[in-house]
Amino acid sequence: MLMRVLLCCGLATVVPSALAMTVYKSIDAQGNVVYSDRQTPGAQAFVIQERKPARLLLERPKPTYPPQAYRYPLPWRGGPFRLTQGPNGNFSHTDAKSRYAMDIAMPEGTPIIAARSGMVVKTENEQVGRGNDASGNFVRVRHDDGSDAVYLHLKQGSVSVRAGQRVSVGSPLALSGNTGNSSGPHLHFVVQRATEAGLVSIPYEFNQPVGTLPNFAAGL
């Protein structure tokens, strides 16, 4: 009995998951010390507490997901209109500032609306025809994530917002036109981000498909 109880005591001290138990110590008629798991009159009780196992907490890496790309609602009212030059277009979408721009052919005077909320940071409203600026008349809106949407080739005198004005999705901005470096009435829509090297065009998507036409700018 003694060996069995001592063995149990030993296991209780080394096995982290052992249950709590009570051991009774008594002295028999011959003066021998006896340990037992059974209570006897006059026995001294010893409670062996459970040793809780140390829990190894593994830090799970937090899953990383690419941020959900904002899908732009169409920045005009009316239509349907069609894409005439898309990203990497060989007519004018060849530099860093316009690589991912889209040109959408539409009648002059089509209402142009904000495709994303933000702050108007710059506008041009006075250019006539080709003028001195290839962008023609335009509105630049800075989004909360630091990117800019730029609406170009707008009709002279049609810009209805000013720098410092906050706009929401669907807010009227201007009317489409044919100013600046434009080979036909259309909206040039581009999303840009400022870098150490200057403004660069970044990819974006509309939230619905836009069909395509032959590239009028290339004379096709």
Q: What is the pLDDT of residues 119-163, one digit of tens each?
A: 999 999 999 988 788 889 999 999 999 999 999 999 999 999 999
Q: What is the pLDDT of residue 211?
A: 82
Residue 63: what pLDDT?
A: 39
Structure letter (DSSP) for residue 217: G
Residue 216 is given by DSSP the state G
Structure tokens at 49: 């507490």
How many CB atoms neighbour CB 132 within 10 A? 6
Q: Which residues pair with 83 in a beta bridge?
A: 104, 212
Q: What is the mean pLDDT of residues 107-125?
A: 97
Residue closest to 143 by CA, chosen among 172, 170, 114: 114
φ/ψ of residue 201, rounded to 5: -75, 140
Q: What is the pLDDT of residue 94?
A: 72
Q: Pick from 69, 68, 79, 85: which is nearest to 112 by CA?
A: 79
Q: How confident is the model at residue 144, as a pLDDT?
A: 94
The model's pTM is 0.66
CATH number of 71-218: 2.70.70.10
Q: What percent of the chain is predicted at pLDDT more than 70?
A: 67
pLDDT tens, residue by residue, 24-64: 666 766 666 666 666 777 777 766 655 555 554 445 444 34
* pLDDT exceeds 60 at position 14: no
Average pLDDT score over the chain: 79
Domain with CATH 2.70.70.10 in the chain: 71-218
Query: Would you state the pLDDT for residue 167?
Result: 98
Q: Which residue has the higher pLDDT, 88 or 122?
A: 122
Q: Please state the rounded mean pLDDT for residues 95-121.
A: 93
